[in-house]
């Protein structure tokens, strides 16, 4: 597995996990079950930047993959 494929895989998995946690109450339920429901208020500060980062990482990996194919 090349470095570009690992980067793309990391970006895609991170994007999917962050999107699930942003748009569904997965973390809210999980934090409630574990007993960390006091931290639910901080999710609004962490999840959107994480989602933006992983979307950017995915775009970068796709761009890098395309430029490697063209060379």
- What is the per-residue pLDDT for 30? 86
Task: Give pLDDT, residue 14.
Answer: 92
Please tell me the distance from the alpha carbon of residue 30 to that of residue 56, in angstroms, as a whole number.
27
> Does the reported pTM lie above 0.95?
no
* pLDDT, position 27: 82
Range of the domain at 31: 3-70
pLDDT along the chain (71 residues), means of 10: 85 90 82 88 88 94 88 77
Rounded to an integer, what distance in angstroms lies between the CA atom of residue 57 and that of residue 31?
Answer: 27
The total number of structural domains in the chain stands at: 1
Contacts of residue 27, defined as CB under 8 A and 6 or more positions apart, other chains included, come to: 21, 40, 43, 47
């Amino acid at each position: 597995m090349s470095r570009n494929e690992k980067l793309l895989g990391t970006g895609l998995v991170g994007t999917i996990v962050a999107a699930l946690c942003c748009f569904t109450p997965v973390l809210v339920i999980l934090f409630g079950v574990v007993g960390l429901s006091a931290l639910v208020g901080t999710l609004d500060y962490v999840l959107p930047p994480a989602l933006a980062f992983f979307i950017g990482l995915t775009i970068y990996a796709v761009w890098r993959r395309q430029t490697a194919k063209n060379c």
